[in-house]
Amino acid sequence: MPMLVFLRLCHLLAASEMIMGMKPLRLVDYIHIVQPYKNSVNMMRANLMFVKIDGEDPKSHRPDWLYVVAKGNNPLPPAEELAHKFGELESVDVQVIDKNTAVLAVSTFYGSKHILKAFRHDKTMSVTRYSWLQHCKPVRYGLWCSIIMMGAFCVWTFIGDK
């Protein structure tokens, strides 16, 4: 039974990569198809597809996060309601930041584009691509503190010399 499952997964992988064409595959072909995944651990719902045990991890091929902000004075709906609303378009994970903001992890690039397009003119919420500089409060506060400290240092340097 485990061999049958392995062969079926190899067959699905070959079909998804368009390797099969119109010819039947031999066992050697299946082994060649799964060779890149040797000594790997599948990472479900993670930033990486899999982790290599004996080598370097692959680059992430996941779409950017989406940033959701409530419009007006109304707060965002609860996480479950947001997941249901966005889940009608694509598989998403919702992380609520506060009552007015949330971050979405979308499973595919197509789904990310589809959500952005579908909510472009929404009256209750704004959906954009997540940006560390623009949306992460600790990063923004750190940058502003650095700018203020550098400004104070420059003023102190110029005034202190006179």
Total number of domains in the chain? 2
Q: Do 45 and 88 have their domain in common? A: no
Band (pLDDT 50/70/90 cuts) for residue 106 is: confident
Q: Per the domain annotation, does 139 fall within a domain? A: no
Using the predicted structure, report yes or no on whether residue 19 has a pLDDT greater than 60.
no
If asked whether residues 42 and 75 sit together in one domain, one would say no
Among 16-25, 40-49, 103-112, where is mean pLDDT lowest?
16-25
Which pLDDT value is given to residue 2?
73
Q: What is the mean pLDDT of the chain?
A: 81
For residue 145, pLDDT over 70 is answered with yes
* Domain range enclosing 119: 66-130
Task: Return the bridge partners of 69, or none.
Answer: 101, 126
> Which CATH number do you get for residue 112?
3.30.70.330
Which has the higher per-residue pLDDT, 71 or 19?
71
pLDDT digits (tens, 9 = 90+) for 84-105: 888 888 888 888 888 889 988 8
**pLDDT for the residue numbered 39:** 85
Distance CA 93, CA 97 (A): 13
Residues 126 and 70 in one domain: yes
Same domain, 37 and 88: no
H/E/C letters for each residue in the chain?
CHHHHHHHHHHHHHHHCCCCCCCCCCHHHHHHHHHHHCCEEECCCCCCCEEECCCCCCCCCCCCCEEEEECCCCCCCCHHHHHHHHHCCCCEEEEECCCCEEEEEECCHHHHHHHHHHCCCCCCEEEEECCHHHHCHHHHHHHHHHHHHHHHHHHHHHHHCC
Confidence of residue 157 (pLDDT cuts 50, 70, 90): confident
pLDDT at 20: 53
